[in-house]
Structure 1
Amino acid sequence: MPGSTALIGRNLVPGSAQGALLFADVGLSFWGGVDPCTGEVIDRHHPLSGEHLHGRVLAIPSGRGSCTGSSVLMELISNGHAPAALVLAEADEILTLGVLVAQTIFERSLPVLCIGREAFATLRGKAFARVEGASLAMFDHVPIDGWQPTETPMHTGETHESIELTGFDRSLLDGEHGKAAQMAMQIVLRMAELQGAHQLVDIAQAHIDGCIYTGPASLRFAEQLVHWGAKVRVPTTLNSISVDQRRWRALGIDPLLGEPASALGDAYMAMGAQLSFTCAPYLLDTAPKAGEQIVWAESNAVVYANSVLGARTLKYPDYLDICIALTGRAPLIGCHLEAPRKARLRVELPEMGELDDAFYPLLGYHIGALAGSRIPLVFGLEQYQPDLDDLKAFGAAFATTSAAPLFHIAGVTPEALDPAQALEADVPVPVETIRLADLLGSWRELNSARDNRVEVVSLGNPHFSLSEFARLARLCRGRHKHPEVVLAITCGRAVLEQARDAGHIGVIEAFGATLVTDTCWCMLGEPVIPPAATTLMTNSGKYAHYAPGLVGRKVHFASLAECVESACTASASGRLPSWLQPALLMESLAHV
């Protein structure tokens, strides 16, 4: 056809569809980046911000950020606001899994096609696209040819011949352990084939991210598993849910959210999961050891487990996490193996002065965007020896902008104490040198507020640790927040009790803070955030990125000490940290 070109790719999910092409060369996190009710892109840092996905062929390099992207995509497929098709530069397990679960539960689907980076670049500027099986046709104008999509079976009856199955695997697949385990094994094997795995591996524990309520479909999925008699086979913890299960009514949460969100947490506990409700399972006594094979979802937890603890997990999508917990078996691929854990990018930092705690989330945010899906090895922090809270903040922000499940810091993280061990022998890797001016650009990106008002101070994304509570108590002692400022902290129940026993909570409550358990700032909204509030402050790079889209507020990003000061004055100082001020000076001199 005149004005058209065609490409051949790899089917991740078969099907046929067409629509106006919506192209971006930046990965998109569906969680926090796409409204699950409307399909609008709400990531205000993304080039597609404000666009609607419904009926369009979405072309992005890959997903990024949260493991809950699979749940959001399943929700969109269920409610009719999904794109017509997905075209990716590289395979994305999170988004693909959302489609596979929608097939299984709702018998609705959409095609997912991977075409490679070189071919992907040719989509720029095209107006219309058509996916048919492994073929992608692109058009400069909307074609008028009476095309109709072909029917594609929801289930293709795979024999799984490419995967070595044990007798136990076959018994699960044959339904000998119940329908829930059978369905779970079917999904595990479909993903294993897409990933190119030839074996499965036993896992020691799981952390479930699918307990976040994204809409009716997420609850329906969990309750269907319970109806089928689902029971986890390994110790399993639960991520933050969407409400404080004990106090959501007292916090003024609408029952239209509170009731189903609480019911979703109950459904996963009915499957045998522990009542943990934290996005920081590495703070629990059950945290895995180095080398332990685990299945964790929740992007910041995955990155921390791999990078800081030295455990082994992929960045598991929501719903694949529970499927693996129900079977105890995971595809032996990616970061479960040795070679894929090696660095594919070397990052060198400039000389810096004395650092504060705002440095690490900012750096993680910047390096995540730089790395994309590549695992970085960072040089230049050896002398600073970041602590576990610093690494937590770095990893959460890194996981927000990167698709990689792992980072290495030379001389700091366990697999890079000897940096040579984090690199594959005789394999050259590209080098990126970061300048202070680059970090100043990311600082300005995270600081989206344009006036100095502060009406909400948001702490605990990821959930606060015991040491963070101790530091906050020292900053708050003998002071009281401004009466017009809400300062709220999210944390897990276990850490809250530890902090209370240590005497920190009394000081923090006397300061005027609100403590919220079970949920996290990625799920909190009004009325915890007052409806009239227009600006908030946070020390979380992750939340500074997501908040403008999730809650429609502008953000001041700063250190914990600055957050406490602003809670007292209801105003942001706007000061740059001392380590970043030379970049501003150099910028000023360049304009003289």
Structure 2
Amino acid sequence: MMDNRVSSATVFQGEAFVKGTASGKLIASDLELSFWGGVNPDTGEIIDRHHKLSGQRLQNTIFAIPSGRGSCSGSGVMLELLLNEKGPKAILFERREEILTLGVMIAEEIFGKSIPVVVLQKEDFRKILRLDGQCVYIVDERVSNSELIGQPDTKPPYLSVGGLTSSANGVQLSQSDRAFLDGVCGEAARVSMRIILRMAELLGAQELMDISQVHVDGCVYTGPGSLLFAERLRDWGGKVHVPTSLNSISVDQKRWRAQGIDPALGEAAAKLADAYIDMGAQPTFTCAPYQLANAPKFGQQIAWAESNAVVYANSVLGARTMKYPDFLDISIALTGRAPKAGPHLDVNRQASLVINVCAIREIKDIDDVFYPLLGYHVGTLASSEIPVIVGIEPLRPSRDDLKAFGAAFATTSSAPMFHITGVTPEAPVLDAVIGSGPHIRSVDIDPQALNWCWDKLNSASKHHPVDLVSLGNPHFSFAEIRKLAEFCRGRCKKDNVSVVVTCGRTSYGLACQAGLVKELERFGVDFITDTCWCMITKPTIPLSQSAIMTNSGKYAYYGPGLTGKSFHFGSLASCVEVACQGGLLGSRPVWLLDEFV
């Protein structure tokens, strides 16, 4: 019989990507956590209501999770936690983790605040989990349940050797890289290159590469730290070296005052957007940059942040990007250079999990809710693996279906992409995207297996009425606006239910030209541009006991923690039906019911 006890004095040797000393009570879980939407940056409370640690606070703890997941904005939340001293004293991972680690690196590089970040071997991490609630001690790469002796290593991560600047881990630097690092191109570029090289060390990259475009997610206002960071880079003379688009910001830049947004938030969010625009970024303000005219092409090397956009770019467009954390995105934009690692390389784009979706041809009346449910479920099966889905090609999913799938997938998985045979460009057949060997897993599921996902995303009780229908997370496309107009045409919305669509300026402009905006406004739809549901608060979200209805798997997952309200989840058609019925709910889709399987 295996002995699961941890001895009274055990020292675990890990790999420290940020060094230092710390001690405190251990809070541990074997489930990944997204800090954006999962942790309140002002209080340190875990607000992911689906997570087993929900309600616990991170302040002054040693926090252990296998890895982060979900939003690239987790690095921003980590920065805010460290600056307002509401965060953990150290963080332990089972796997190499980029997003949260980068937040700690930014705090150290820019603000002189830091905590240890240590990655443990899998078997050691599993033993650490059994110390939950006990005091844990850390000195650099050593972790123990008893006090450690020794001083931390204070050696700087990068050294100047023989007049040539090179990273301590041997990353090969070009002449331009050395110029950036030596400050020839200014302080903003110098600090950016240091940040990039620290991430290259974490990734094990041996060289940097040129990037053709960047999508910045760090323009989301997570707190004073995010604004200080951007303004500091701007004031240091930072200018982007490659075309750079901006993600959704925290307010509708042009109309936030008219919408009744708190001036403290509105002014700070507007200043943050202005700082990035001053550095040369384009005010695209969309979480769906793949809808823009300059969306990347197949095989193009890019640096995108925003989790749904990364997954879409890699999977649906066949472009190549890592899941870049907030703050690393602008660092790459200011230099045009990125670590040559992750999904930029062929070997890191192969699937290791095959998911066979069975009985698709036998199921009738599958609607658009199928894709976010499937994406959510696949993400739980592939928490860190790239999956390939087999069997749904007869459904011929649209680009918007794949957007919904990918956004839900990105909430539950840390993987940067997926493949669907016969649908996504790198997977014409199964053999094109899987390697060989015993590491390939295979799982069979049928549509009935998605019932638990439906129950999870429908956090409101069946009889809980709706006073807000939220659409556009990720941003609605022109095609989705047109589809919404078709559902609303000839019908009337009840006054007690608001319907709000968020979309990018480009999609909104096209819808205006087509007359769809005026048509939908007559029905009672309100449009908001520039921002997205993960940032929207009151007064758009009413202070009431009523629930929110959405067709977004992503928002149904994050929404309860972000808003404090319960959620109903359903198809776009059912969202319109609820608005027309005055907030009264329908039933579960027929294809999820037993008698239809």
- Normalised to the residue count of structure 1, the TM-score between the two structures is 0.95
Alignment of 1:190-589 (within 5 A): 190-352=198-360, 353=363, 354-426=365-437, 428-450=439-461, 451-582=463-594
Q: Distance in 2 between matches of 1:198 and 1:185?
A: 15
Partner of 2:558, secondary structure, is: helix
After superposition, the CA RMSD in angstroms is: 1.6
Q: Distance in 2 between matches of 1:423 and 1:2?
A: 41
Q: Distance in 1 between matches of 2:228 and 2:309?
A: 25
Partner of 1:327, secondary structure, is: coil
Q: Distance in 2 between matches of 1:199 and 1:151?
A: 28
Q: Distance in 1 between matches of 2:515 and 2:489?
A: 11
Instruction: Note the alpha carbon deviations across 1:520-579, whole angstroms, 9 max, x for none.
Output: 000001110111253100000000000000001100000000000001112343411122
Deviation at 1:119, TM superposition (A): 1.6
Partner of 1:20, secondary structure, is: strand
Match of 2:86 among 71, 75, 81: 81
Q: Distance in 2 between matches of 1:109 and 1:340?
A: 30
Q: Distance in 2 between matches of 1:117 and 1:428?
A: 16
Partner of 1:82, secondary structure, is: coil
Instruction: Note the alpha carbon deviations across 1:70-123, whole angstroms, 9 max, x for none.
Output: 010011000101101100000100011000000011100000000032221112
Q: Distance in 2 between matches of 1:156 and 1:123?
A: 27
Instruction: Note the alpha carbon deviations across 1:165-204, whole angstroms, 9 max, x for none.
Output: 1111111111110000010001101110111000111000
> What are the ranges of 5 or more consecutive residues in structure 1 without an aligned counterpart?
140-144, 587-592
Residues 1:128 and 2:135 are matched in the alignment? yes
Match of 1:138 among 145, 161, 182: 145
Q: Distance in 2 between matches of 1:534 and 1:36?
A: 26
Q: Which residue of 1 aligns with 2:195?
A: 187
Deviation at 1:351, TM superposition (A): 1.0
Partner of 2:549, secondary structure, is: strand
Q: Which residue of 2 aligns with 1:90?
A: 95
Segment drifting more, 557-566 vs 500-509: 500-509
Q: What residue identity is the alignment partner of 1:380? A: G
Deviation at 1:424, TM superposition (A): 1.7
Partner of 1:463, secondary structure, is: strand
Q: Distance in 2 between matches of 1:533 and 1:488?
A: 18
Structure 2 contact 315–419 (Cα < 8 Å) conserved: yes
Partner of 2:567, secondary structure, is: strand
Q: Distance in 2 between matches of 1:153 and 1:539?
A: 50
Instruction: Note the alpha carbon deviations across 1:359-416, whole angstroms, 9 max, x for none.
Output: 0011101111110110000011011110000000000000111000000001110001
Q: Distance in 2 between matches of 1:299 and 1:117?
A: 26
Partner of 1:251, secondary structure, is: coil
- Normalised to the residue count of structure 2, the TM-score between the two structures is 0.95
Q: Which residue of 1 aligns with 2:9?
A: 4
Q: Distance in 2 between matches of 1:109 and 1:357?
A: 45
Structure 1 contact 87–112 (Cα < 8 Å) conserved: yes
Structure 2 contact 64–129 (Cα < 8 Å) conserved: no
Q: What residue identity is the alignment partner of 1:31? A: W
Partner of 1:490, secondary structure, is: strand
Q: Which residue of 1 aligns with 2:163?
A: none
Q: What residue identity is the alignment partner of 2:335? A: T
Q: Distance in 1 between matches of 2:145 and 2:582?
A: 53
Structure 1 contact 63–92 (Cα < 8 Å) conserved: yes
Structure 2 contact 352–440 (Cα < 8 Å) conserved: yes
Q: Distance in 1 between matches of 2:239 and 2:546?
A: 44
Partner of 1:204, secondary structure, is: coil
Q: What residue identity is the alignment partner of 1:476? A: C
Q: Which runs of 4+ in 1 moved over 6 A?
A: none
Q: Distance in 2 between matches of 1:148 and 1:242?
A: 46
Q: Distance in 1 between matches of 2:300 and 2:182?
A: 29
Q: What residue identity is the alignment partner of 1:80? A: E
Q: What residue identity is the alignment partner of 2:225? A: A
Q: 1:46 to 1:149 in 2, by over 3 A?
A: farther
Q: Distance in 1 between matches of 2:67 and 2:359?
A: 33
Deviation at 1:153, TM superposition (A): 4.3
Q: Which residue of 2 aligns with 1:590?
A: none
Q: Distance in 2 between matches of 1:79 and 1:509?
A: 42
Deviation at 1:507, TM superposition (A): 1.3
Segment drifting more, 572-581 vs 394-403: 572-581
Q: Which residue of 1 aligns with 2:47?
A: 42
Q: Distance in 2 between matches of 1:533 and 1:527?
A: 14
Q: 1:149 to 1:534 in 2, by over 3 A?
A: farther
Deviation at 1:156, TM superposition (A): 3.6
Partner of 1:33, secondary structure, is: coil
Q: What residue identity is the alignment partner of 2:62? A: V
Structure 1 contact 17–149 (Cα < 8 Å) conserved: no
Instruction: Note the alpha carbon deviations across 1:478-535, whole angstroms, 9 max, x for none.
Output: 2221101111000001110001111211111111011000000000011101112531
Q: Distance in 2 between matches of 1:507 and 1:117?
A: 56
Residues 1:15 and 2:26 are matched in the alignment? no
Q: 1:386 to 1:137 in 2, by over 3 A?
A: same
Match of 1:177 among 164, 182, 185: 185
Q: Distance in 1 between matches of 2:438 and 2:523?
A: 54
Q: Distance in 1 between matches of 2:210 and 2:341?
A: 12
Q: What residue identity is the alignment partner of 1:214? A: T
Structure 2 contact 471–502 (Cα < 8 Å) conserved: yes
Structure 1 contact 452–574 (Cα < 8 Å) conserved: no
Structure 1 contact 16–149 (Cα < 8 Å) conserved: no
Structure 2 contact 157–198 (Cα < 8 Å) conserved: no
